[in-house]
Amino acid sequence: MKYLTLKIIRIYQKTLSPDQGLLQGFFSNKTCKYYPTCSNYTYDAIKKFGIIKGTFKGAKRIARCNPWSKGGYDPIKN
């Protein structure tokens, strides 16, 4: 299940992601406020913590990504 989820994230990154995928040419600037991007953050969290905790951490990160957030460098924390 972990491998499948990681594979789905990679497919999203290569196809639909506005920062990394085929659509990046349609956007004039970077669209993600955070570094690493939310999809990279979720990928790394699942890889490090497993499917349940990693998905939860990724969902929390996506919830923080809104027009009022400052963004910036946000590494994965324990």
Q: Average the pLDDT over 16-21 and give the result.
A: 78
- CB-based contact 50:1 (threshold 8 Å): no
Q: Average the pLDDT over 29-37 and give the result.
A: 80
Instruction: Classify residue 15 by its DSSP letter.
Output: H
pTM of the shown model: 0.84
Instruction: Give the residue, 71 or 25, on which the prediction is more confident.
Output: 71
Please, how many CA atoms are within 13 Å of residue 64, restricted to the half-sphere of its CB? 17
- Which range among 2-6, 13-17, 38-42 shows the weakest confidence by mean pLDDT? 13-17
